Amino acid sequence: MKHGIIPDMNDDYSDRNPQLGTLYPGHIEALKARHDHALEKSDASHAVIFSGSPKDTFLDDMSYPFVANPHFLSWAPLGGLPLSYIVYTPNEMPRLIYYQPHDYWHVVPGDPGGYWAPHFDVCVVHSLDDITALLPKDRDKCILIGEIDEPAHAFGIERVNPTMAINILHYARGVKTEYELECMRLASRRGARGHIAAEATFRDSASEFEIHRAYCQAVSHVDNELPYGNIVALNSHGAVLHYTDLDREPPDEMRSFLIDAGARVCGYASDITRTYSFDDARFAELIERIDVMQLEIVGKLRAGVDYRELHVDTHRLLGSVLVDSGLAHGDADTLLETGVTSAFFPHGLGHLIGVQVHDVGGHTQNESGAIVDPPSGHPFLRLTRVLEENMTLTIEPGLYLIDMLLEKLRGTPAESHINWEGVDWLRPFGGIRIEDDVRVTLDGCENLTRDAFAAI
């Protein structure tokens, strides 16, 4: 590890890609412009961005794993720097108040350094008492962005997360800078390495726990560094949308494997899902059908597309897959209208992704914060915006055997459209999900996930 870099396991990817240092200045200028606008609309002169504070566990002296404020993390790749502040004043170099405590119980952040450092007035402090003198004196002209659990961490700033500024910043974050895109390409490659290792371990008839360990080793992450808890689901566990239990023993019979797992680089996430059949040809064919369908949806992406319409179109495509695979009867529109497709595919088509896995601003119509609701009957869709160039999002259709949802169709017009023998066949396999991270372009998209697998 190089001296002066906070150990977040991203150093190898950063150092191997000189483009990050080249692209970072443009990213900083974009952030400045967004904050200039937010400050002007908020009648404020300074933005103070708090990295966050460790959270103690109940009745103990240990803390939960630290998660940095994404607003702070978007300025600098310092995910392991609690109790620190960025102070931005228009037309001035941003100040980074870098908290480096004197502590012999824990490893403290190293001396600041990296491609980001020359763009900040870095002030290292060893005591929280030293911070107040480094903040703007006119606190009434400050806005503070971050989660404040202790009033002392606000240092007298009363305007915390003002709605207008937050709406402006969150809406703008939907469109990524070139620096952010490169971080996400690297995160996709890192995640793809993990997926390849996980599939190989599955083919060796390993347990969910062993597959998870193989993934973490391949991406060089411990659990706390993953962008979200890995979903490593064998057989019927694939029907649990957020399955994270990790059985320690392999099943008696290996049938299927669904893995939803990502990785981070410089704070930016990837989010990738793949499904595999162990040796069942019919289930492998169904996976292939969903994969083809997913690519057809990806092929519809371009600037100007309404993501809500794309989600509904996906349900129509899934209706055809259900009929062709012997799981349902009828035409695609009828299966959509009667709720059959929603029983097999209850979640949304995708979401924005970036410095957060489920990045903010997915439902906002404009910078005022006006909300665009999901389509009727599809409450879990996390993205309802019209797509713009350089938006980065997931496309993740699925097909699952969820008994609770199918039983709700009993006694309704939808019941007659279900092939219950086909349902019985699919049940031991759980489900299928295929998920790629994609960047929207003016006339199409860049598929970060497929490119990453191809590169490896």
Separation between Cα atoms, residue 71 and residue 51, nearest integer Å: 8
pLDDT for residue 122: 98
pLDDT for residue 13: 58
The tokens describing 48, both together, are 């103070």
Q: Is residue 47 over pLDDT 50?
A: yes
For CA atoms 185, 356, 431, 190, the dihedral sign is positive
Banded pLDDT at 17 (limits 50, 70, 90) = confident
Q: Is residue 1 over pLDDT 90?
A: no
Amino acid at residue number 350: G
Separation between Cα atoms, residue 184 and residue 304, nearest integer Å: 23
In the block, residue with structure tokens 């410095």: 355
pLDDT for residue 16: 61
Residue range 198-239, pLDDT digits in tens: 999 999 999 999 999 999 999 999 999 999 999 999 999 999
pLDDT for residue 4: 32
Yes or no: say if 390 and 439 are a contact pair by the CB < 8 Å rule. Answer: yes
Report strand pairing: 95-99 vs 121-125: parallel
Amino acid at residue number 446: E
pLDDT for residue 5: 32
- Secondary-structure breakdown of the chain: helix, strand, coil percentages, each rounded to the nearest 5: 40, 15, 45
Amino acid at residue number 144: L
Predicted structure pTM score: 0.95
Average pLDDT estimate for 375-383: 96
- What Å distances lie between residue 348 and 281, 314, 376, 382, CA to CA? 28, 10, 12, 6
Range name among 9-23, 194-208, 396-410 with the lowest pLDDT average: 9-23
Residues near 411 by beta carbon (within 8 Å), at least 6 away in sequence: none
pLDDT for residue 7: 34
Mind listing the domains of the chain with CATH numbers? Answer: 11-172 (3.40.350.10), 178-455 (3.90.230.10)
pLDDT for residue 8: 41
Among 89, 186, 164, residue whose Cα is nearest residue 437: 186
Mean of the per-residue pLDDT values of the chain: 95
In the block, residue with structure tokens 């998920």: 435
Residue range 87-126, pLDDT digits in tens: 999 999 999 999 999 999 988 999 999 999 999 999 999 9
Banded pLDDT at 18 (limits 50, 70, 90) = confident
pLDDT for residue 14: 55
pLDDT for residue 53: 97
Residue range 20-31, pLDDT digits in tens: 999 999 999 999
Yes or no: say if 120 and 95 are a contact pair by the CB < 8 Å rule. Answer: yes
Residue range 255-314, pLDDT digits in tens: 999 999 999 999 999 999 999 999 999 999 999 999 999 999 999 999 999 999 999 999
pLDDT for residue 11: 42
Separation between Cα atoms, residue 48 and residue 66, nearest integer Å: 20
Q: Is residue 162 over pLDDT 60?
A: yes
